[in-house]
Structure 1
Amino acid sequence: MAVLRILVVDDNDAVRRGLSSKLQEQPEWLVVGQASDGAEAVIKVSELRPDVVILDIDLPRMNGLEAARTIRQLAPSIEILFLSFHDSRTVVQEALNAGGRGYLCKSDAGRDLVSAVEAVSQHQAFLSASIQGGETISAAMVSPVTEQESLPGAPSQANRTLTPGTVAPATEKESGIDTEKEPKKNPGALKAA
């Protein structure tokens, strides 16, 4: 198993240290760096090329939403997990629209941090159980849209929904399954990648 490289971004030094400590307890996980603002996060992503960025929203110099958009353009394969005190559906949707694969409320981090990182590192969506309202959120909101997927006639993810506290399975494309070349023995089952 390859080492999972993680960048932790939060303006609170104690939060960064605590998260890093918890993450380093996991075998095969390595915190490759920390950043205290969005602009520094973008620089560190370029330098360190992490697999996952844990990103707060309320950051100085460049907020987490702007940083996520920039990171997504710079390195589209990097997964972003937002970690924030905000728990409103509106803020969560803004974060996911900015390029996040998952959203974890800080109030749930002690319990769900490892699960959330595992999910996004496997290209699966994760939503914190504490998101206000409890409404389902379209999984299309959680899966960053690629240029190809935005083309007319491209397969839609709009029929997938995600309830807070759950993980959405990866789409066939996200799993690396080439449906054009593989025989369809059981169209309801996805073959493990």
Structure 2
Amino acid sequence: MATDAQSGSQRFLTMTLGNEIFAIDIFSVREILDYTDITRIPQTPEFMRGVVNVRGSAVPVVDLKMKFGLGEVERTLNTRIVIVEIRREDTVSVMGALADSVKEVLELETDRIDPPPRMGAAVRADFIRGIGKHGDRFILILDVDKVFATEEILDLSHMLGETAPPAGGNDEISTNP
């Protein structure tokens, strides 16, 4: 995770999936879109909702809630698609993460982030980078490179092309109002 060496803190974008709060490293986030029509691609897993048009490029969208076995993201006024960059070797792919809502950019002190708990071989939790403490709540910090590393996602990303669509801005996260 990218760390601010002076303050020992890290910045994350927080989002909700059901009643749980998840976070991803702010440096992985390219932009946040309002929910838009998603074109379904046949013969893909249920959690692969389809693709959206991001400035002329087809970007695959994963329903994180379904992927984690928490149900399905329902379309509301707060539903968002978080566009993230996935780094794999020397390639950058762009993926969409469907979430119930996006909350805030949160800065956590590194000493407030614990490693993920060991839950035994039967439970796959390698996509969790850590667990942050904020107030009286826990925030599950995701490793986007591992969340989007399944074969189905990699195959779809490859099928659609490895080139990332042009960024909406420079170093700032852009939002689609």
TM-score tier by shorter-chain length is under 0.3
More strand, by proportion = 2
More helix, by proportion = 1
Q: Whose relative contact order is higher, 1 or 2, with alpha carbons under 8 Å and at least 6 apart?
A: 2
**What TM-score, normalized by structure 2, do the two folds share?**
0.26
**What TM-score, normalized by structure 1, do the two folds share?**
0.25
